[in-house]
Chains A and B, each alone.
Chain A
Amino acid sequence: MLTYTFRRVLISIPTLLFIAFVIFMLLELAPGDPMASMPLTIPPEIRQEMRLALGLGEPWYVRFPLWLRQFFVVEPQYWIDNAFGTNFADGAQRIISFQSRSPVFDTIAQRMPQTLWVVGMSYVVGVLIALPIGIISAYRQYSVFDQAGTFVSMIGFSVPPFFSGVLLIVIFSVQLKWLPSIYDTTHVVDDWNSFIFQLKQMIMPVMVLALQTTAQVSRYMRASMLDNLGQDYVRTARAKGMSESVVVMKHVVRNSMIPVVTVIALGIPSIFGGAIITEQIFKVNGLGQLLIIALQGSDIPMVMTITFLLAVLIVMMNLIADILYGILDPRIRYD
C-alpha cells in the first residue's frame, strides 16, 4: 500500500507539470492584450517598456520555468516566512496580478473563505441528504419513495444551477421576501441575530449546489446498496436472526459506502467548478467570481494560478479516492 501511494504521488508530479504546461501554452496563445485597457495616448515605446515590466518580454521557454519556480519555491517560502518569521524568500519576486498589482496568492487567500464556506457547506449538506435517500430508495426499491427519489435526482441532473438559483431567488426573495438574494460577504457573525442572518443568506446558494451533489451521490448510493442487498452475506445475516436494522445499517450500508466514499472524494473538484456559476448568481465574491473577473481583464497570472490550483485539487482528489478505496476495501490490493 505504501509503495503504491508513493508511486502514485510520483506519477502525479509529471501529470501536474503537463497540466501547468497546457494551461500556460493556452494562455500564451492569448490574443487578449493585458495592455488593452491602458489609455491610447501612451506612446508605443513606453507601451513596450510596460510590457517588459509585466514580464511579457521573454519567450515562453524562459517564462514557464520561472513561473514554476515562483509557484513551487517562492510562494511556499513566503508562507513559511509568514508563519515562522523566518526570511527564506529574501524579497524574491512573487506571482503578481496584472490587474491589482498585488501578489496573486494574497487575493486568493482573501477570497478563499467565502468559497469554502458556501461550497464546503453545500457539499456536506448534499451528502447528508443523499445518503439516507439512497439507502431508503434501495431498500424499498420501486416504492413511491424510490420513484420520487429517482425523479428528484433526475431534476438535479437536468436543472442547471443558473436556473435553479434564479428560480429560488424569484420565489424566496422576490415573491415571499424571506431570504436575501445577494450574499453579503462583509457580514460579521457576533451575536444570535447576525448568526440567523448568516444562515438565511447561506440557505439558497448552499441548496442550489447541494441539489447537484444530492442527485449524483444518492444515485450511486442506491446502486451500490442494490448490489449488496442481493449478496449471500446478507442472507446469512438474516438467517442468523439479526434484526433488519442491524442487517441494513451494519452490514449492507458499511459495504455499500466503499465505492460511494470515492465518488464523494472525486466530486469535490467539480463542485468548485459549479461554484463559478453559483457565485455569479448570488454575487458571492469568492474564487469563481475572481476567476471570471481575471478572465475578462486578461489577468494572465491570476487565471493561470486559479486554474492550476483547481487542477491540483483534481489530481489530489483522484489520488485520495484511489488510496481510500484500497484502505477501505480489503479485497483491493494494489501491490
Chain B
Amino acid sequence: MTDSLPQRPAKPVLTAGDSSAPLTVEKTRSQWADVWDQFKTHKGAVFGLGFLIFITLFVTVGPMIWGVDPGKLDIRNKDVRPIYIALMDSNAKVSWANPMGTDNLGRDIMANIMQGGRISLAVGWTAMILTLFLGTTIGVLAGYFRRLDGILMRFTDLVLALPLLPLLLVMMLLFRDPLRAAFGPENGIFILIVVGIGITSWMHTARIVRGDVMALKEREFVLAARSIGTPARRMITRHLLPNVLSPIMVSATLGLATAIITESALSFLGLGFPSDFPTWGKILFDSVDRMTSFPERVIWPGLAISLTVLSVNYIGDGLRDALDPRIRGL
C-alpha cells in the first residue's frame, strides 16, 4: 500500500539518524485510516453517522437526563400538545414539563420515545448480529466446503421462496405464549422477535459471502497457506474471514435497517411487544386511532424510525464506497 502510491504527499517526515541525510519515509497508514478518509468524503454517510450517534445517545443517555418515568400515568395532564403548537394556537394545552406532549393517559411522549427507541435499537442491533452470524456461517461453509455447497445453497433458495412476512406473523402468534411463559413477558417477546427476524433475513448475506469465499479460495495466498498445512478452521478465521469483512459490513447496515423496520411493522400489526411496553412501532400503532386530533403522536415515532433507517442506509452507502479499494484513494 505504502510504495504503491508514491504520488501521495508524504505526511509525517521521519528523519533517520542525523539531520544531514533526511530520509523521507511515508508513515504506514493502516487500512482503516484509508477507509475512514474515504468515508468522510461521502456527505450523506457522515450525516447518517452523526444522526445515528445522536439518536443512540438520545435513547441511552437521554432518560438519565430527562428522568421522567415513561409509564407514569398523570391523568390530569393528559392530551397535552407539543410545545410548538403554542406558536400557532395560543389556547392549546401545552406545558414545558412535556415538550413533546402527553398521550391519552398522561404519559410523557418524550420519555416514551426514548424508552421505545432503546427497545427498537436493541432489537435492531441484536437481530442484525444474529443475521450476520447465520449468514456468514452458512456462506463460509458453503463456499469453502464443496460437499456442503449444494445442500446449503438449495436450502437458501428454499428459504428465499418462503413468504417471509406472513410466516413471521405466524411465528409471532404461535410462539408468543410459550416463550413468554419461559422467559417472562418482555424477554420472551424480545427473544422471539430477534430470532424471528434473524432466521428470516440471513439469506442475502450468505449468498454474498459464499460468492466471495469461492473467489478467494482460488487465490495464491490461500494456496500458500494450504501448502504449509493450515487446517481448515484457521484457514477460515485467519485468511478468509478478514477478506470478506467488507461485504459483511455493508450487509450489516442493510440488516440493521431491515431489522428496525421489521420490528416496527410487527408492532404496527399488533403482533410485537405487549401494549404497556413501548417501541417506536408500538407507539405509532397506538396513536393511529387518534391521529385526526393528535397528528404529532404518529409523527414523532414515525420520524424516529424513518430517520434512523435513512441514516443507516446512508452509512451503508458510504461504507460500500469506502471499502471498495477501486474507488478509495481517488
Contact = CB atoms under 8 A, between A and B. Distances in A.
B274 to A, nearest CB: 15
Interface string B273-311: 000000001001100100110010011001101100110
B257 interface: yes
Interface stretch (A67-75, A85-93, A111-119, A272-280): A272-280
A303 B170 contact: yes
Interface stretch (A95-103, A155-163, A253-261): A155-163
Contacts of B170: 23, 26-27, 295, 303, 307
A162 B314 contact: no
Contact of A160 (B44, B291, B306): B306
B83 to A, nearest CB: 19
A248 interface: no
Contact of B174 (A31, A159, A291): A31
Contacts of B171: 26
Contact of B268 (A26, A162, A175): A162
B169 interface: yes
Contacts of A303: 166, 170
A34 to B, nearest CB: 13
A290 to B, nearest CB: 11
A154 B171 CA distance: 30
A174 B294 CA distance: 10
A236 B291 CA distance: 59
A29 interface: yes
Given A32-B174, A154-B313, A23 B284 contact: no
Interface residues of B, number: 42
Contact of A158 (B161, B257, B269): B257
Interface in B127-177: 157-158, 161-167, 169-171, 173-174, 177
Nearest to B164: A273
Interface stretch (A58-66, A165-173, A237-245): A165-173
Interface in A290-314: 291-292, 295-296, 298, 303, 306-307, 310-311, 314
Contacts of B178: 31
A314 B161 contact: yes
B265 A15 contact: no
B169 A23 contact: no
B264 A276 contact: no
Contact of A314 (B163, B302, B306, B310): B163
B261 interface: yes
Contacts of A27: 170, 174
Majority SS of interface residues in chain B? helix
Contacts of B310: 154-155, 158-159
B288 A166 contact: yes
A22 B162 contact: yes
Nearest to A30: B174
Nearest to B171: A26
A176 to B, nearest CB: 12
Contact of A163 (B165, B269, B302): B302
Contact of B166 (A158, A170, A276): A276
A247 B292 CA distance: 52
Contact of B306 (A19, A158, A276, A281): A158
A282 to B, nearest CB: 11
A292 B169 CA distance: 8
A27 B171 CA distance: 9
Pairs of residues from A and B, 4 with the lowest C-beta to C-beta distance, nearest first: A163-B302, A310-B163, A158-B310, A158-B309
Given A19-B162, A32-B174, A174-B295, 11 more contacts: A15-B158, A18-B158, A26-B167, A31-B178, A158-B306, A158-B313, A160-B306, A162-B302, A174-B291, A306-B166, A307-B167
Interface of A: 15, 18-19, 22-23, 26-27, 29-32, 154-155, 157-160, 162-163, 166-167, 169-170, 174-175, 269, 273, 276-277, 280-281, 291-292, 295-296, 298, 303, 306-307, 310-311, 314-315, 318
8 contacts: A23-B170, A31-B177, A159-B310, A160-B306, A162-B285, A273-B165, A311-B163, A314-B163
